[in-house]
Amino acid sequence: MVHRKFVFVFNSMDEALTFIETITNKIKSKELLIRYDVGNGIRVWVSMQGEPHEIELYSMEIKRAYNDIKLMRGKFGVRTYDISLILSKARLSAAIPIDLIIDLLHIKGINAELNGSKIRVVGDIKLEDLVNLVERISNIYNELINVDVSAQAKRIITLYSLLMNIDTKGSIRDLLDKGLLSRYGDTDLIVLSMDYKHALSKLQEITESRSNAY
């Protein structure tokens, strides 16, 4: 049996609790012990014992979790978030395309990118903000489950609903009126009237003109 112990320092209790939640979700071992102290800064002690190969794997997971926390603090104005952490914290009512968050942030004028399993954002976008966005997107996708709509049209309806803060029925009506959506032939299927990138540009124009009106 091998025994190993780590001590990690955090900037806030939220960081510490997120770290603890992450490693307890990833490491299912009765030999994992965690305690924290807020007396002289926020510190978390992690100790474990097991077979050498197990300890090596657990150590890698723990260090990766701590590194993810440091990336979320931001460096040179860039914050990096692990998608699995965002999804584990979000209460999802329906599955969503994770890259839709990037499209939404771009329309809002926020520089963001999806890089593998990470989301990189320029600016003061916190983990809670991304979790909230994911939950709101998921709720809209849940509303659209029984609506006869194409996958690309569903993305545009979701973005419009979030940007304009209106329900899905109102969004579909508006987008049909504005020519971004149309019905496919003689069917009830709602599809995009243009390619997806063009539709995103149109959404950008709509939100900018709306902002200028106020």
User: In the chain, where are the structural domains located?
Assistant: 2-73, 80-212
More confident residue, 160 or 72: 160
pLDDT for 214 beyond 60: no
Residues 6+ away with beta carbon under 8 Å from 56 = none
Q: Token match 């890089």: residue? A: 115
Q: How far apart are CA 186 and CA 109, in angstroms?
A: 38
CATH topology of domain 2-73: Gyrase A; domain 2 (3.30.1360)
Task: Report helix, strand and coil shares of the chain as percent, to nearest 5.
Answer: 50, 20, 25
More confident residue, 6 or 41: 6
Given a contact cutoff of 8 angstroms between Cβ atoms, the answer to whether 32 and 58 are in contact is yes
Tens-place pLDDT, residues 125-143 = 999 999 999 999 999 999 9
Given a contact cutoff of 8 angstroms between Cβ atoms, the answer to whether 38 and 13 are in contact is yes
Q: How far apart are CA 200 and CA 126, in angstroms?
A: 24
User: What does the pLDDT read at residue 139?
Assistant: 97
Question: Is the pTM higher than 0.85?
Answer: no
